[in-house]
Every structure is written in structure tokens, then in C-alpha cells.
Amino acid sequence: MTALGGARRPAGYAQPAIAQADIAARPGAVSAAGADLSVGARAAVTRLALTDFRCYARLKLVLDARPVVLTGPNGAGKTNLLEALSFFAPGRGLRRARLGEVDRIGAGPWGAAATVLGPTGVLEIGTGHDRPNHDRSGDVGEGQSTDGRRVVRVDGRTERGQAALASAVAVFWLTPDMDRLFAEGPGARRRFLDRLVYGFDPEHARRVAVYEHAMRERARILREGRGDGAWLSALEDRMAREGVAIASARRAVAERLARAIHDGVGAFPKAGLAVEGPLDRALAEGPALAAEDAVRAALATARGEDAISGGAATGPHKSDLVVRHLGKDMPAALCSTGEHKALLISIALANARLVALDRGAPPILLLDEVAAHLDATRRAALFETLLELRAQTWMTGTDAHLFAPLGQAAQHFAVAEAAVVPLAGVPS
């Protein structure tokens, strides 16, 4: 096991010296997260406060930058805690919940606040459920739903959408539900890929929101049969421009990840990644501007059939992330659940490594129930890589002793009935 201070780095992982100096130059940052920060760049939640968040009426946690281990019985509140952290990324969190579901039953609205230490300093991030006012118009805009809207604050400033979260902090997660990722429809895989892209290109979140809003608007106008040709053309133009930017960003990240995985993933299987769809083919074959023109033309031609289907004939919403188990030369969809999990860990670790290079710190990783399903060798390899990456990884499980190899390199908490208490000593 690599000691915390003995930064042995995996191949291809260079410690960004500038970010490191940046943290060291900020006394507030160093004292906020413990002395171990002086030896490497990290991103870490150093304070988490929850209000009426699912089973938590109120929770306050003070942390340092080390990985966080949460153990306790089923139903204790471990996944809920990870879900709260997942709301520091754009989207609907790791359960894809409706905002109202997250309100503590009989209470709410929920709120989550964190102090996040990153390579550029300390940020205060807050998010939560803004319940709808019944006198407000029924118009549903970006980040809104009939369920109310999610508010986002970064350093006291209220942001217009959730995209600002992706600039503030990179958060990435793996959950047991994702074992079905390769067996399900392409929507879940697109969202998975988009979350990977947020780590590299925070603008991606804004583009996805703008694209989806334009697509919904166009579908509404077509459904209502309004002959608003100029407005439809404007929406289709927006879909073409944002759509091509989205598809290009996805392709670039999938290619980088595939290369990083090819260069080595240790004990985990090598995954092949490719994005496939009409727009991705167009981008592979020709320039982006030609792809944009093709989307505009295809959408204009397809108005009649889209009015009937309720969809949109082409665009990045037709793409799929195709993953292969390279060792077995087999599509991921045909692999076992254990192999799925191992492939996802490969992708998550490669992603963490690349994000660390780009942003100066790895993402905050949320690994729900991951350790229990790995054999001892792979579990040790996972822990070792996470420590080498210096990622603040939040891990859950029912069995504290599985995390014993992490020793003092992690902070261990017991979770029981929505109370989170530091474990006395390190589990053995």
C-alpha cells in the first residue's frame, strides 16, 4: 500500500506542479484540509452540511482531503450522503431523483452546502430545492420542472443554471445501478459519457442544457402544429450548433479515455470506447461545419415526421457510447456483472487521471458499494490507485473491515440511522 505522502504515480500521471504551488501558497487552503495537502494537488470536500435531505434532518461533517469511508447497515443513510455530493454536479444526482423526492418526508425543501478545496483555492458551494410558487407561470425553463427548480450558489453568487457546478468542482460516481449500464438503452450511457465530459469541459453541461431545451421547444411547436417557421429554424440552428459541439466534445473525451486506458489500467480490464451515431459518423467523415449543415437540413426536412413521433430526426441524442472488453474482444453488453463493474472502474480511474492532468486535481469520486463486489486483489489495486491519484473518494459498504487496508490514509465513519460518526481507530 502506498503511503499517503509517498506519491508513487501511475504511468502517465504527472503531478501538476503549478496547482500544487497554488495550494501551498494559500494558507487558508492548507489549514482547511490538513497538512497532507502540501504534497500534492487535490480536490476535496472539507465541510458538508445537509438540511432535510432524505433521511437527514440536519447533518454537519468536517473532513480533511483523504478518502472517506462510510460503513453501516442497510438503510443507514450511506447512499443518501453520496447522493447529496452528486448534486454538486449538474443533473439529477446519482439516483436521478425528482427534486421533491429528495425532500425529507414531511419536511424540506432540501439543501446541501459544501466547502470545496480545489487547485484554485477554496469555494463555497450550495444547492437545493426551490419549491415552486403556485402563482408563477407554468413555463418550464432550463433546470426547472413542475417539481420546482434546483438553485445553485457558488461563493454566495446565485447561478442561472447548474452548469456553474461543473466549473467549480468535478464529481464522478459509480453506483450498483450502473451494473446495468451496458444492458440498458443508450440514454443512460449518454448521460454517463456526458458526466465524464463535464470533468474536462465544464461548458459541456451548459451546451447539453441549451440543446435539450431547444429540442423540447421544437417538439412542442411541432406538436401544437403552429406554423412558426422562423422560430423552428432558429431552434434547429441552435440544435445544430450546440449538437455538433456536444458530439465533438464527447468524441474527444472518449478518444482520450480510450488512449489512457490503452496505456494501462493495472489490475482492471482494458475498455475500448467509441461514440456511435449519425452525428458521430458525420464528424468522423468530414468537418464540423458540414456536420452542422447536415443537422440543420435533416431537421428542416423531418419536421413532418418529428411532429408525429415527438422526437428529433438527428442530433447527439441519437448517439451511443459503445464499450468493449478488449481483453475478451467482446462488447461490454455480453460481459458478466463483475466484468461490467471492473470495466466501469477502469473508465473511472482513467477519467480521474486525465481530469487531474487537466484541472490540476482529480475529481471527487463517489463509489457506492464498489469494494464489496471486488476480489481482494482488485480491491487492493483500487485502493492503491485512489491513493496514488490523491482523489478524495467516498466509499460505502456494510463491512468496515474491507476498508482496513486503507488504514490512516482514509477517514472512516460509521453511519447508523442518519447519524455519521467518526470511527474510533482504524477498522481491522
Ligand X SMILES: Nc1ncnc2c1ncn2[C@@H]1O[C@H](COP(=O)(O)OP(=O)(O)O)[C@@H](O)[C@H]1O
Interface residues toward ligand X, by CB under 6 A = 54-55, 72, 74-80, 101, 103-105, 415
Rg, C-alpha atoms of the chain: 22
DSSP letter (8 states) at residue 269: P
Cβ 349 vs Cβ 341: under 8 Å: no
Query: How many Å apart are CA 178 and CA 180, to the nearest integer?
Result: 5
Q: Is 409 left (phi over 0), alpha (psi -120 to 50) or beta?
A: alpha
Nearer to ligand X, 76 or 406 (CB): 76
Nearest distance, CB of residue 324 and ligand X, angstroms: 32
Q: How far is CA 375 from CA 131, 368, 371, 380, in A?
A: 45, 16, 8, 9
For residue 170, give the DSSP letter: -
Among Mg ion, ligand X, none, residue 174 binds (CB under 5-8 Å by kind) = none
Task: Decide whether 42 or 78 has the Cβ nearer to Mg ion.
Answer: 78
Residue 79 within binding range of Mg ion, rule CB under 5 A:
yes
The CA-atom distances, in angstroms, between 125 and each of 29, 100, 152, 171 are 15, 20, 8, 13
Q: Which does 204 bind (CB under 5 to 8 A by kind): ligand X, Mg ion, none?
A: none
Q: Which is nearer to ligand X, 361 or 371 (CB)?
A: 371
264's contact among Mg ion, ligand X, none, with CB below 5 to 8 A by partner kind, is: none
Nearest-10 crossing angle of helices 288-301, 229-262: 140
* Closest approach of ligand X to the CB of residue 130, in Å: 17
**Least distance in Å: CB of 372 to Mg ion?**
11
Closest CA to 275 of 250, 239, 244, 246: 250
Closest separation in Å from C-beta 178 to Mg ion: 13
Task: Report which DSSP code applies to 77.
Answer: S
Shortest Å distance, C-beta 54 to ligand X? 4
Q: How many residues bind Mg ion (CB under 5 A)?
A: 2
CB of 75 to ligand X, least distance (A): 4
Give the dihedral sign, CA 219/221/223/229. Answer: negative
Least distance to ligand X, CB of residue 80, Å: 3
75 contact choice in ligand X, Mg ion, none (CB below 5 to 8 Å, kind-dependent): ligand X
> Which C-beta is closer to ligand X: that of 244 or that of 415?
415
Nearest to ligand X of 80, 127 (CB atom): 80
Interface segment toward Mg ion; rule CB under 5 A; list 34-42, 79-87, 136-144, 371-379: 79-87
Task: Tell the smallest beta-carbon distance from residue 297 to Mg ion (Å).
Answer: 48
Alpha carbon 299 to chain centroid, angstroms = 30
Axis-axis angle for helices 186-200, 203-224 (nearest 10): 140
Q: Which residue's Cβ has the minimum distance to Mg ion?
A: 79
| 250 contact, one of ligand X, Mg ion, none, CB 5-8 Å limit per kind | none
Is residue 411 helix, strand or coil? strand
How far lies 115's CA from each of 64, 91, 118, in Å? Answer: 11, 20, 10
User: From the list ligand X, Mg ion, none, which binds 208 (C-beta under 5 to 8 Å, kind-based)?
Assistant: none
Residue 351 is a binding residue for Mg ion (CB under 5 A): no
| d(C-alpha 409, C-alpha 3), whole Å | 7
- For every residue of 343-371, DSSP letters joined together read HHHHHHHHHHHHHHHHHSSPPEEEETT-G
Residue 55 near which of ligand X, Mg ion, none (CB within 5-8 Å, type-dependent) = ligand X
C-alpha separations of 398 from 176, 232, 403 in Å: 14, 53, 10
Question: DSSP states of 90-131 as a string?
Answer: SSSTTTT--HHHHBPTTS---EEEEEEEETTEEEEEEEEEEP
Q: Closest CB to ligand X among 54 and 218?
A: 54
Please tell me whether residue 80 binds Mg ion under the rule CB under 5 A: no
Candidates 72-80, 136-144, 206-214, 290-298: pick the segment binding Mg ion (CB under 5 A).
Answer: 72-80
Q: DSSP letter at 310?
A: S
Closest to Mg ion by CB, 73 or 286: 73
- Residue 133 binding: pick among Mg ion, ligand X, none (C-beta 5-8 Å cut-off by kind): none
Minimal distance in Å, beta carbon 77 to ligand X? 4
Cβ at position 76, least distance to Mg ion in Å: 8
The site partner of 278 among Mg ion, ligand X, none (C-beta below 5 to 8 Å per kind) is none
- CA 287/CA 325 separation, integer angstroms: 30
User: CB of 78: closest distance to Mg ion in angstroms?
Assistant: 5
Nearer to ligand X, 29 or 49 (CB): 49
Contacts with Mg ion, residue ranges (CB under 5 A): 78-79
